[in-house]
Amino acid sequence: MKLVVKRTYRGPNYTIGHLYVNDKFFCDTIEDVDRGLTQDMSKIEIAKKKIKGQTCIPYGTYIVTMNVVSAKYSNFTKYPYATFVQGKMPRILNVPGFDGILIHPGTNQLDTDGCLVVGENKVKGKVINSQATWRKLCSVLLEASKKREVITITYIK
């Protein structure tokens, strides 16, 4: 399965994009600020430009897994929607200079901490209907994972 995030708007505080699943538009996304990082940069180069919790991940292609339980999102009292996946949030692996990058619900860049937030960008600087959008995406990802498909995500301009 192939996911693609095309970053379409780079604002001073957030980045808006479109998520495609197997070349079909799926939803909008919001991330932290795009600082022009790329997957082929060294960790030292990335560290010079990255502001922790305020920078989206580098452009490039990564593997997505549905097999890692998130310590944060396995608190089902605080995040009841994550019971749907037993706390196994979509995790983007081997991102240079970043750890624990997930795809999850949220509203704006303050909810991202480098992660990808999905929803509908119908309000400037925000996404709405994020939990419903995330559930739909997770259903698709879980099905691919059960079939042992490799899931990749590519970030492009």
Domain ranges of the chain: 2-156
**pLDDT for the residue numbered 116:** 98
Reported as a pLDDT band with limits 50, 70 and 90, residue 19 is very high
Question: For the chain, give me the number of helices (H) and strands (E)?
Answer: 2, 9
Structure tokens at 80: 């009841």
SS3 of residue 102 by DSSP: strand
**Residue 91 bridge partners (DSSP):** 65, 102
Strands (E) across the chain are located at 2-10, 15-21, 24-31, 60-65, 91-92, 101-104, 116-123, 126-128, 151-156
> Cα–Cα distance between 48 and 46 in angstroms, integer?
5
**Each residue of 100-117: pLDDT tens digit?**
999 999 999 999 999 999
